[in-house]
Structure 1
Amino acid sequence: MAKVELLSPGGSLTGIKAAVAAGADAVYAGGSLFGARAYAENPDESGLLEAIDFCHLHRVRMYLTVNTLLKERELREELYSYIRPLYERGIDAVLVQDLGVFRALKEWFPDLPLHASTQMTITGEDGAALLQQMGADRVVLSRELTLSDIRAIRSRTDVELETFVHGALCYCYSGQCLMSSLIGGRSGNRGRCAQPCRLPYSLRDGFPGTEGDARSVSREKAACSNPRGESGSRSMTAGNRSGRADGNNPRREAGCGRFGADQRNGRYLLSLKDICTLQILPDLIDAGISSLKIEGRMKRPQYAAGVTAIYRKYIDLYLERGREGYRIDPADMTALTDLYSRGGFSEGYYNQKNGPSMMTMDQPDHSGSAAASVLKTGSRCRLQALEDLYPSDILSVEGKTVQCAERVRAGQTFSLLGTCPGLKAGSIVMRVRAQHLLDTLTETYVDRKLSVEAEGHVVMKAGEPLRIAASALGREAVFSGSVVQEAEKHPLSAQDVRRQLGKTGDTPFAFQKLDVELSGNCFLPISDMNRARREVLDRLKEEILSGSWRRIPKQAGDQSIQNTLAGADNRSEAGIWAGGAPESPPSGTTDGATEGMQREGAAVRHPSVTASVLTMGQLQAVLKERSVGGVYVEVSIFIGQPATAPEAITGLIHDAGKRAYLAMPYIWREDVRRTFEQTLPAEKMKLFDGILVRSIDQLGRLADWLPLREVIADAGIYTWNTEAQKEVRMLGATLDTCPYECTAAELSARNMSGSELVVYGRQPLMVTAQCLRKNTGGCTHAASWLTLTDRMKAQFPVRCECAFCGNIIYNSVPLDLITAEKERRLLSPAYIRYSFTTETAAEVRRVLGGELPVSITRGHIRKGVE
């Protein structure tokens, strides 16, 4: 059975050492810059160098997280100097989110292993294979994938796969969440997520500002059975097989039935339980996963150590005894629950698509373990311990904490002083702090001094230099010390020498064997023996560690960084395209590949205008607007429609003198791909003038859709810097979309010649595999709108995408950059885009006519993110 890596979190230097002591095969940690856990106690440069040495001395790999998005200045001025000393010290790999960072690191440090972070949102074989082709050694898959999805990727690629096996789950696909950023200013893409998914919300049917509507939802019907109609012109209406009331108004797309108010008011509707996969660990190993990852860099070292030790135990148990000998000790599950759990655990998405069993809607933080059962209430509450309780353990009683004063064994009864009116006989009291467990972990792992076993050989002969040799981990070092003197009164014994030289103290070594050869009556001062021991062990440490050290040839290193900073690119412009580079983009744009991505001058030019639509009513309005030159049609419009729907809708767009673009699904996992290909086979793709791709997975699929004249990368394929823009071009895109989180100044620092700027629309805050309707009121299998309301009374539209079984949560107000004239002139994008989601046809017409809603946001175009 193949060896699998246990990968543990290191939120601090202490945490890194504790995880190593507990049995991690590898540790991942961030430094002072560019990590996705900016608020962890991340080591500084000296701490990281110490951590690398510590890990390597104990034969553990050390990975650095650079899994955030970098602004242009950061990539140009800070990244190289940050990585170089760690590279030279032997960092084993770097985890990367930003395609520009990936590109730069490959250029600067060609032999540095790169791991594609889960922030890249890789959900299928196309993205995994593409990243491997780009040079990734490992891909960290999205946490939403099932075991079936992972097995499919494993069977079709040979890149290393890494998945999370324990810890917190985000509500949104990692890397696609803008909620914390746009409502709180703290970006998850910059390691500063404020965790809005752990806050209370209420939910109701329908669109914000409307009452719930019990009518069932049906999708837009194009004129598919008779696309041209009797007059030969394409019709804008279609047979409504499901009795749709109004195809022009998305606000009438309410779901079937209503929620009960008690099911959804003031609850933690977006809060997922932590995952624990001990029960299915054999399935994960057998699926071919290379690395099993524990989440938790924000948690204390005892957490990292405790979880690591338990997973180490069960990985080894399965590898040694197989399924027949694999049994879970309930005490270990209790320990994991005590360390951190939110309303218990789930097994994540490995064996289910989504569902309420994965949620913890009543408590978003640590809930602890069941500690005692209430036997009797009154003036003194009598309880029976369900687990052994220890002094300083903390119980949660009616929202208050109570500290245990004495030891209580499981089965024994004890009393709580005072009345507890909210408790009833049979109620369960939870332990939220298991102090005895924390103390044990501290003593066993956190405060434990790890030593490398060494062997030594000492030769002492009067009149000759002391000779000492030490060996460990297959390496050896030798040192010749001071000349040994002839003893006048008290010659050294072998035991004396062994005792003194065996005091390895603060070195990382401990002599398990130390041979001493004495010839004659020898004497040597203790200070000389101490110096000899220190010198030989320092040499041994360097001999061991130097095997991991790297050197950058000065000329090559300087030249590579100069090339990157100057924007030079020696790679083929054809990129991955199997049939050659795509055709030139439409007139009025500049192809970054053709022009070498050179920055345009400051001259202002009027960009072309495009619009994206979600409904046929919106499409009707857009087609009547002369200024709009291209239309992005969401793929959901075609789901469940007659086979001729693509011909009908693209025909309508072309007849209006506009270009037709297909807006792809946000996620490209196996089940989504199957639904998509059933709806739009490859030959139908030729009907469109281009596509809007929304994931790296889709960039990996482009060769199957050739020829395509245009490929526009949407905002979720992040291009915060020119290196990312170049990489996206190399992967086949002709244009990119300006990221939502950058200021105008930051966007202008990158290349705007081939960028499209979204100037209006509700930005997608979350793309999730969960469904709020299913989790709170039951699945209706009907696409619909819901309204999610937060504590500040902001109302967020939620689109139930039943065809792909997930939700999209949009911002409570639309973005407006149309009236941000100063910023638009500074940026001068190749295109501007209107993004219509919740608007009625009338509202679309008003927006295109310059009449904007009263409530709008400027997004980050002025204030930006940290």
Structure 2
Amino acid sequence: MRAELLAPAGSFEGLQAVVKAGADAVYIGGSMFGARAYAKNPRKEEMLEAIDYAHIHGKQIYLTVNTLLKNQELYRQLYEFLAPYYEQGVDAVIVQDLGVLSFLKKEFPELAIHASTQMAITGPKSAGLLKEAGASRIVTARELSLEEIHRIYQETGVEIESFVHGALCYCYSGMCLFSSMLGGRSGNRGRCAQPCRLPYTALEKGKAVSGTEPSYLLSPKDMCTVDILPEILQAGVYSLKIEGRMKKPEYAAGVTAIYRKYLDLYLRTGQAYEVEKVDRQELLDLYQRDGFHKGYYHMHNGPEMMATVNEKEQSRKQGTVGKRNEALFARLKKQYLDTKKQEKINGNLILFADTPAILDLDFQDIHVQVQGDLVERAQKRPLLAERVRQQMEKTGQTPFVFDSLEILTDEAGFLPMQSLNELRRRGLEELQQQYLAGYRRTLRKPETEQKPSLAKEKRAQAEAVKFYVSVEKREQWETALKQREVTGIFCSMSMFKRKEFLKEVLWAAEETHRAGKEFYLALPYMLREGRMDGMEREITQIAEKTEGFLVRNLEELGYLKKLGLLFKAVTDYSVYSFNDLAEEFLENLQVKRTTVPLELNSSEIRHRRHENSEMIVYGFYPMMVSAQCVKKTCGCCDHKSGELQIKDRYGQQFTTKCFCDFCYNVIYNSVPTGLLEEAEQIRDMGFLALRMNFTSEGPERMKELLNAFAAAYLAEENKGKKKDAFQISGVTKGHFKRGVE
């Protein structure tokens, strides 16, 4: 069985440490575009050295470019950033952005592309879609069970990488806007402020259901799967990934060493094993949040997975903070940071009087020979073989150490120590260069135009702007039906009962059409576990009778692709098209429309291609989509869809909806985003489709909002009126003004 142990490195020092600890491969970020922007990521020269260090020691090195890129970054910065690392021989790049994936396939054709966990790949349809697009490996969403992963492997055969140890996000990766909406620090841009690690109070109908004191309701415990590595490998996982680029090198090395021990044990014997108590305790001493759990591999969610108490924080408040195991960290530092790792080589040195010195070196399949100075005949004290050996074996800080060195000499000659040193230096340098030459690449001239293509000028309004609404409740749908200005309605799939699903959807579509409006079925925020398997016939019939589907994730995109229905798909903001190449990627799939991402500001939107996109101008933005259930964490799960509120330390309340039919939670912002005063500015951008998202609003509030936004966006005679003519209270501008870093 093949397997790779993949370790994190937040710095060059960290990379060296995990290589010494037994990692087969290392993932690391550079100075730009990595999902850990606050790590001590190496700069260019250090990164080039890191690539060579990994290769000399027989390891793979993967560069993280796993953030969403804006147009100016994709066109003006990414090529120059990656070019030297590509030429140096970096083995793969980990990506989140569909535009980056397309860019790399064109500009760096020999580079392997790994689809990041940030893409939230939850099933075989999304994995197959990305494999077809050029990804050589997919990193699964951390929420998947072993059965789900095995299914991906069986149906696609794609190489799979999955996390086995470390911190977990509360939210499906890539689906979190909590940090960016509250503080402008986007997890999609590598700058997450971790609001999930703060205390909250859960309220249901105004009554606290999480206890009298705030709890850490959104903070998962760290995962530890050292006991079940055989199960993970048997599920089809090839690369076992340890989380921790923001942690100390000692942590990464310590965890890597223990996982190396048990992975080797299993690969050697093929038998189950018992993890020693001392190793388990060492993992706990390195880092943990209220203990460990085995992640989502055996369970979908549950309170036992959550660090709701946060024992460290409670100890800090009580002044009883436990001390770190300094002896452990000191040992790991000495063992993995303060030592040097050298590869064994074989040498042959020829020293005969009156002939040049010759040094032959062998490393793996590389052979080099260098010639030195003339060996003079000794007048007094000739060089003896043992003295020569002592000098030649001083390989210092080079990556090599002699396993064997044969010295052929007549012991009649003399050569200065300086000449021997120079001969050794040149030989080792030539050996290293020739070995690394196998990793070097030649970069061709860039094909992609190195400047962003500006969005087209506003077109003549040959057709009226289409005004859509999305709804999650039946009364909201009924309200939208009566609004003349509404072009079409996106109805949440959760509005329809499973037993009568097809009948109810087709009836709602017919009623919507009778009202003169388009009908779309809004698919769930997250699709997994084959929950729409067996519905292919129903979905196809719905497609025939409706305008299409709102697609929220890549698994749904792949699902519709399999059915030949992508021309009916409107991709939501969460199928990210941050840049023109991502937009082009989706357009090439023949999707009907895309949706502008929520983290772009007005200037970035203006310089993005959006003639085939719709813009969300109102709604309580979804801040998190999670496999965890707040009600279950609080012990009040009734297995029924519903909602409650979570209150933060400032008293802000965030509505949390439980979608039990697909078993996920959505946490919405405490205030809606409303771009009403910005109507004229957005109209001038040339959008032909706008959308308002309704979640918890009642009929009267919904009517008020629809009337205000329709007047601002749709009535040509209103153009030019004062901004305060259409003000509404209690809204935020989202990222339209400030954007994200």
> TM range, normalised to the smaller chain?
over 0.9
Match of residue 339, structure 1, among 286, 302, 306: 286
CA contact (8 A) 2:615 2:687 kept: yes
Aligned partner of residue 349 in structure 1, secondary structure: coil
Aligned counterparts, 1:67-466, within 5 A: 67-206=66-205, 211=206, 260=209, 262=211, 265-324=213-272, 326-363=273-310, 399-400=318-319, 431-466=322-357
Separation in 2, partners of 1:707, 1:51: 46
Cα distance, 1:650 vs. partner?
0.3
Partner of 2:528: 669
CA contact (8 A) 2:566 2:590 kept: no
Aligned counterparts, 1:628-777, within 5 A: 628-640=486-498, 642=500, 643-674=502-533, 677=535, 680-707=538-565, 709-777=567-635
Cα distance, 1:365 vs. partner?
5.7
CA contact (8 A) 1:68 1:98 kept: yes
Match of residue 617, structure 1, among 464, 475, 479: 475
CA contact (8 A) 2:35 2:65 kept: yes
Partner of 1:830: 688
Amino acid at match of 1:635: M
Aligned partner of residue 401 in structure 2, secondary structure: strand
Partner of 1:813: 671
Cα distance, 1:327 vs. partner?
1.3
CA contact (8 A) 2:455 2:607 kept: no
Cα distance, 1:523 vs. partner?
0.6
Partner of 1:55: 54
Write 1 or 2 for the structure with the bigger share of helix: 2
Cα distance, 1:706 vs. partner?
3.7
Structure 2 residue 53 is the aligned partner of structure 1 residue 15: no
Shift in alpha-carbon separation, 1:852–1:656, aligned structure 2, 3 A: farther
Deviations 1:223-242 (A, max 9, x none): xxxxxxxxxxxxxxxxxxxx
Amino acid at match of 1:442: K
Separation in 1, partners of 2:460, 2:281: 64
Separation in 1, partners of 2:677, 2:548: 29
CA contact (8 A) 2:218 2:306 kept: yes
Separation in 1, partners of 2:675, 2:141: 32
Aligned partner of residue 357 in structure 1, secondary structure: helix
Q: Once superposed, which parts of structure 1, at least 4 consecutive aligned residues long, lie more than 6 Å away?
A: none
Shift in alpha-carbon separation, 1:795–1:680, aligned structure 2, 3 A: farther
CA contact (8 A) 1:646 1:687 kept: no
Cα distance, 1:366 vs. partner?
8.2
Cα distance, 1:700 vs. partner?
1.3
Amino acid at match of 1:178: L
Deviations 1:153-199 (A, max 9, x none): 11111110110000001000001000000011110000000000000
Separation in 2, partners of 1:536, 1:332: 42
Separation in 1, partners of 2:174, 2:628: 16
Amino acid at match of 1:84: A
Shift in alpha-carbon separation, 1:260–1:126, aligned structure 2, 3 A: closer
User: Which range moved further: 125-134 or 678-687?
Assistant: 678-687
Amino acid at match of 1:860: H
Deviations 1:813-850 (A, max 9, x none): 11111221353144222211010001011111110011
Match of residue 698, structure 2, among 826, 829, 840: 840
Unmatched tracts of structure 1, length 5 or more? 213-258, 368-395, 403-430, 568-597
Aligned counterparts, 1:35-54, within 5 A: 35-54=34-53
Amino acid at match of 2:248: R
Structure 2 residue 363 is the aligned partner of structure 1 residue 472: yes
Shift in alpha-carbon separation, 1:846–1:134, aligned structure 2, 3 A: same
Cα distance, 1:672 vs. partner?
3.0
Aligned partner of residue 192 in structure 2, secondary structure: coil
Separation in 2, partners of 1:739, 1:153: 28
Partner of 2:65: 66
Separation in 1, partners of 2:40, 2:494: 44
Deviations 1:656-680 (A, max 9, x none): 1011011111112124324x82994
Separation in 2, partners of 1:520, 1:274: 63
Partner of 1:232: none
Shift in alpha-carbon separation, 1:687–1:306, aligned structure 2, 3 A: same
Amino acid at match of 2:529: E
Deviations 1:350-408 (A, max 9, x none): 000100010010107689xxxxxxxxxxxxxxxxxxxxxxxxxxxx6873257xxxxxx
Shift in alpha-carbon separation, 1:487–1:399, aligned structure 2, 3 A: farther
Aligned partner of residue 670 in structure 1, secondary structure: coil
Separation in 2, partners of 1:706, 1:60: 42
Separation in 2, partners of 1:312, 1:170: 25
Separation in 2, partners of 1:609, 1:746: 22
Amino acid at match of 2:413: C
Cα distance, 1:749 vs. partner?
1.2
Match of residue 511, structure 1, among 402, 405, 412: 402
Cα distance, 1:730 vs. partner?
1.6
Separation in 2, partners of 1:71, 1:452: 43
Shift in alpha-carbon separation, 1:830–1:703, aligned structure 2, 3 A: same
Larger Rg: 1
Cα distance, 1:470 vs. partner?
1.1
Separation in 2, partners of 1:397, 1:170: 23
CA contact (8 A) 1:846 1:852 kept: no
Structure 2 residue 451 is the aligned partner of structure 1 residue 601: no
CA contact (8 A) 1:744 1:861 kept: yes
Cα distance, 1:699 vs. partner?
1.6
Cα distance, 1:283 vs. partner?
0.5
Cα distance, 1:261 vs. partner?
5.7
Amino acid at match of 2:735: H
Shift in alpha-carbon separation, 1:70–1:813, aligned structure 2, 3 A: same
Partner of 2:720: none
Shift in alpha-carbon separation, 1:280–1:767, aligned structure 2, 3 A: same
Separation in 1, partners of 2:648, 2:316: 28
Deviations 1:734-766 (A, max 9, x none): 211011001111111110211100000011000
Aligned partner of residue 531 in structure 2, secondary structure: helix
Partner of 2:736: 861
Amino acid at match of 1:795: Q
Cα distance, 1:547 vs. partner?
0.8
Shift in alpha-carbon separation, 1:657–1:42, aligned structure 2, 3 A: same
Amino acid at match of 1:102: L
CA contact (8 A) 1:608 1:832 kept: yes
User: Which range moved further: 53-62 or 642-651?
Assistant: 642-651
Cα distance, 1:791 vs. partner?
1.0
- Normalising by structure 1, we get a TM-score of 0.81
Cα distance, 1:477 vs. partner?
1.4
Cα distance, 1:784 vs. partner?
0.8
CA-atom RMSD, angstroms?
1.9
Partner of 1:561: 448
Aligned partner of residue 9 in structure 1, secondary structure: strand
- Alignment: residue pair count: 721
Aligned partner of residue 122 in structure 2, secondary structure: coil
Amino acid at match of 2:223: I
Aligned partner of residue 193 in structure 1, secondary structure: coil
CA contact (8 A) 1:737 1:756 kept: yes
Cα distance, 1:474 vs. partner?
2.1
